[in-house]
Amino acid sequence: MAVAPPSYCFVAFPPRAKDGLVVFGKNSARPRDEVQEVVYFSAADHEPESKVECTYISINQVPRTHAIVISRPAWLWGAEMGANEHGVCIANEAINAREPAAETEALLGMDLVRLGLERGATAKEALDVIVALLEEHGQGGNYYEDANSCHSFQSAFLIVDREEAWVLETVGKYWAAEKITEGVKCICNQLSLTTKIDAEHPELRSYAQSQGWWTGEDEFNFSEVFSPADDHLTCCSGRDTLEKQEESITVQTMIDVLRDKARGVCVDSESFLTTASVVSVLPQNGSSPCIHYFTGTPDPSRSIFKPFIFVDDVKLVPKAQSPCFGDDDPAKKEPRFQEKPDRRHELYKAHEWARAVLESDEEQGQKLRKTMLELEKQGLEAMEEILTSSDPLDPTEVGDLFYDCVDTEIKFFK
């Protein structure tokens, strides 16, 4: 069975999070050389009976999809993490369960992230979308751009809006979910739900009984029933990192947690790297905008978190988008992945120089890191002003926000 990479997702609710803000964060641990891009798609109307091409399969499109911004491995259709215009954020975790994931091509967990964002205006709506699609199409297929072996996983999701979060854990088409409205929650690459289940697949328990995994007499504990026998639930060292914060949790706290290599939240191993990160702040007061900070580059400890706000006229950022290979893309042709094209975007290439300096040259590296953090701080302070201001947001000022930040970062690295 393929080893699931140790990604982490977090959410913190007031009063643990500061000033009536819900704070969401995710590190995406993926194969070291994989490129992630940050892409915005505007809301759109679709023709009746039209189809949408996901990573491996086509499914029926809906009449209207919401505007979304996502961070995704550049070869696939879905997303590791992202947000929509209604303040819904979703992140996906690849997990191993007692039942091996299907290698047959179906929907990937990452496709379900994007579909949930495009179709759900609240966290619960997005959850309902995901489980309905699981029931109809199933999940399966290769999680990696790898011609030599199929790495397939079951999926867990953290789905968050301004009011609540849902932890959704799936095994094939079966699922369980827990609703969170307070405190902090961390999910990673193991099943975490136990006996507090707020929604579930109608046949979940009878299926577990039919497989001989549950007697029907003991209390039903989802992760005990569905985890692999050798899975020791030690996963959330990350949870401790967040729970032990004595002060209230802010965007900066969440960024610091995502940069934590000592506890393994920020992955930098022989096979895996945190290839992209996101932090979102969702004010419970609906008149304030949600702000989403994406790196678009690997290793958050050596990256700049850059803000994005949804407005009607968002300026697209081609410099954070990978080249498009159309129908010639080896990920779309069968047999798949016979070649690996160069998917690096302009921001990624500029950042490669910075990573090399930070790793090799102590004096220049320290100076560079200081300047990068200063750039990030300016962005964070400007966003803080927007959140605390009573003035309405000027869409013309923030439509170019992410574009300008990416542009500044690239110029700075050059």
Where in the sequence numbering do the catalytic residues fall? 9
Residue type, 269: S
Joined together, the tokens standing for residue 277 give 């990160």
22 with 13: CB under 8 angstroms? Answer: yes
The rounded distance, in Å, linking the Cα atoms of 57 and 48 is: 19
Give the Å distances, CA to CA, from 14 to 91, 125, 168, 317.
20, 22, 21, 33
The rounded distance, in Å, linking the Cα atoms of 228 and 58 is: 31
Classify residue 308 by its DSSP letter: E
The rounded distance, in Å, linking the Cα atoms of 36 and 248 is: 31
Pick from 23, 6, 8, 14: nearest CA to 281: 23
Joined together, the tokens standing for residue 165 give 């979060």
SS (H, E, C) 28-88: EEEECCCCEEEEEECCEECCCCCEEECCCCEEECCCEECCEEEEEECCCCCCCEEEECCCC
Q: What is the DSSP string of 132-149?
A: HHHHHH-B-S-SSS-SS-
Pick from 274, 222, 350, 276: nearest CA to 39: 276
157 with 93: CB under 8 angstroms? Answer: yes
The rounded distance, in Å, linking the Cα atoms of 338 and 299 is: 28
The rounded distance, in Å, linking the Cα atoms of 134 and 132 is: 5
Q: For 210, phi and psi rounded to 5 degrees?
A: -65, -25
379 sits in which H/E element? helix 362-388
